[in-house]
Amino acid sequence: MCGAPKQGGTLAGIDLGTQTVIQGSVWHDGAPVAGAYVRLLDGTDEFTAEVVTSPEGEFRFFAAPGEWTLRALAPVGKGQQAISAETGLNETTVVIE
């Protein structure tokens, strides 16, 4: 069976000195959006990965340092957020309009 890894949880055991983690949450009308699809696009807008947000609206990607775009899709709408990720923890919020 294929699917996205469970979102949320801690980063215990992850070496943030060598890993680039992009994580955050998806919000709409002041509340987190559970079950939204979040796509990670590279600097040329090429699809790289996709996850589904947790019940708390959280998502996480392990990526390379660089310029990324996060695109969230949900029944309530869509949103987009650019992020310049560096090695370590990079946190952001995607707001659905």
Where does the pLDDT of residue 7 fall: very low under 50, low under 70, confident under 90, or very high at 90 and above? low
Whether the predicted model's global pTM rises above the 0.75 cut = yes
Distances (CA, A) of 33 to 14, 23, 55, 94: 26, 14, 7, 10
Q: What is the pLDDT of residue 19?
A: 84
The string of pLDDT tens digits covering residues 25-43 is 999 999 999 999 999 999 9
Whole-angstrom Cα distance, residue 12 to residue 47?
28
Residue 29 identity (one-letter amino acid): D
Q: What is the pLDDT of residue 28?
A: 98
Whole-angstrom Cα distance, residue 29 to residue 49?
26
Tell me the domains of the chain and their CATH numbers. 20-95 (2.60.40.10)
- Nearest 5°: the CA angle 44, 45, 48 is 105
The string of pLDDT tens digits covering residues 35-93 is 999 999 999 999 999 999 999 999 999 999 999 999 999 999 999 999 999 999 999 99
